[in-house]
Amino acid sequence: MKRRLLTLVLVIVIGGVFACGQEPTNTQASVLEESSANVTDKTEQVASREGFYIQEISDELFERMKSGNTYKEDCIVPREDLRYLVVLHKDKDGNTHQGEMVVHKLIAEDVLEIFEQLYDAGYPIERMVLPDNYLADDEIMMRDNNSSSFNFRFISHTNKISKHGLGMAIDINTLYNPYHKVVTNDDGSKEEVIEPATGKPYLDRTQNFDYKIEKGDLCYRLFTEKGFEWGGDWTDRKDYQHFELPSDITEKYSEMYSLKNVK
């Protein structure tokens, strides 16, 4: 999809929403006004159409990410390698909402295009705000059915950055598409891990319910066509909410960032 580099100010974001004399609906107008209110500087943006754009990480947003704990003190992913997406999405009742997400610049345009297509098709996404709104607490955020991407962290007991820590993994409708794994403890006992814990009723994938991601549905197809892998396809565990770039790509970036920060 062709992108245009724009230097946008508040008036441009709101203005020209519907060309050819068409008036926006009240819902669309309020969402676009909310989006415009979040633009506080003249940071260069890549926009495809009203309500959908990519922006570099502004000073104000960077402070929000640091105070909200997604960009932690030990974060080694350069700020300039991240991008802020603003999109529109619809909930299960067809209401339009403004969404926001921080991702790695490598996937920013592909992800923006995916969300445009999901919005046009009315594919339901309930909530999409930055994890900073939850102080980067995964469990609380997932219980709230929030969709997100970047949240810096290392993989436990390693110097490898997790795929969410790189901004190269995306979780969609997290409550209704939980993570599930059965682990074996040191004493041989089995333990069931479900994240979020409140997602247990939605582990039965034979049931029909709102916000469910299924293999072959539109969300699945759009992400996998762009080269993402779906956690619902894994055999040792299931992560129905999760789409990620393959490890051969992410490990190169993780190693590169780690080497750059060796003192």
Residues 75-80: contacts with CB within 8 Å, 24+ apart?
A: 75/152, 75/165, 76/161, 76/257, 76/258, 76/260, 76/261, 77/104, 77/152, 77/161, 77/165, 77/166, 77/167, 77/257, 78/257, 80/56
Instruction: State pLDDT tens for residues 41-92.
Output: 556 778 769 999 999 999 999 999 999 999 999 999 999 999 999 999 999 9
Domain parsing of the chain, residue ranges: 4-260
CA distance 138 to 175: 11
Q: What is the pLDDT along the chain (263 residues), one digit of tens a residue?
A: 444 433 333 333 334 443 444 444 444 455 555 544 444 455 677 876 999 999 999 999 999 999 999 999 999 999 999 999 999 999 999 999 999 999 999 999 999 999 999 999 999 999 999 999 999 999 999 999 999 999 999 986 678 899 999 999 999 999 999 999 998 888 999 999 999 999 999 999 999 999 999 999 999 999 999 999 999 999 999 999 999 999 999 999 999 998 887 54
| Stated pTM of the model | 0.83
